[in-house]
Structure 1
Amino acid sequence: MTEHPEQTPAQPIPPSVWRNPWHFLAFGFGAGTLPKAPGTWGSLVAIPFIPLWQMLPGWGYWLLLGVTMLFGFWLCGKVADDLRVHDHEGIVWDEMVGMWITLWLVPKGWLWLLVGFLVFRLFDIAKPWPISWIDRNVHGGVGIMLDDILAGVFAWLAMQGLTWAWAHWLLSA
């Protein structure tokens, strides 16, 4: 979930985040409890995983994406139900998965991680159609995850374009 202007500025942080391992995980190991921009913090928490995952073959990283997405449908739905809040702003597992999607098959290196972070945040916050429609109309764990998955796919396409342009520029230089 990302920052939504129609939500209250700061939803209360449930104490269960620190007691319940599912809540702790959904809240990005606690990053979702930070007072400002929890979606941005959740996206940052995803970054240390990416260099590890980039050591896998492309299909292995893809498999991890599938597992984290399917797990996220369940996890985000369970935690939202537990908290009785449709999409608590502190649930950031969806942002983490969106970041992981964004950086699949992107060159290694901190510059690419930074660019990927910025591109994903742009799509996640701006929510161009159909992301905005999904965010408003799809509910439950699938709804919490799906807008960020799609933002990750859009960001991934942009990153693939950037890596192609970069490689083309290098070859022509």
Structure 2
Amino acid sequence: MRDLTLTLLLAVANAPAHAAPEGPRLGQPLEAAAISALDITVFPDGTGLPPGQGTAVEGKAVYDAKCAACHGPNGSGGSAEELAGGRNPLTSAEPDKTIGTYWPYASTVFDFIRRAMPLDAPRSLGNDEVYAVTAYLLHANGIIGEHDRLDAATLPKIRMPNAAGFVWVYPERQPR
């Protein structure tokens, strides 16, 4: 066995260098357009926000049809996380982690809704619907008015109540 091991080691050591193996040949390479369609990240400074627009008035209808069954009417009282109505600050013994008391950036609310909601059909909402639901939830938390129009220009300008509640690992990258 020892001679076989030594022979194999010498064979590997003396073998000509070759390119890395191709891999298991699972799936197919993606075209640039397909990769672009998957790149839906929206950053805290609003980079990545798509075209579209919406208001809280428009968002209420979408919320009632696609969100209220889990999150309850007006963003609370359902089986899923409470989204609005939080009264206890994060420093209290029983903090409320609603959009108004916890989330530091409005653009990341949009990102989460577009990426993950509704739970039974993620990424099924159109951009206008996501802007509208985001507006509705920001309005339900007392952050914007019901007729304020959200879009890629206005959403990143919203100052969330807990914007200063997080410590950045790289402060130089913190959105202003």
Give your verdict on TM over 0.5. Answer: no
TM-score by length of 1: 0.32
Structure (1/2) with the larger helix percentage? 1
TM-score by length of 2: 0.31
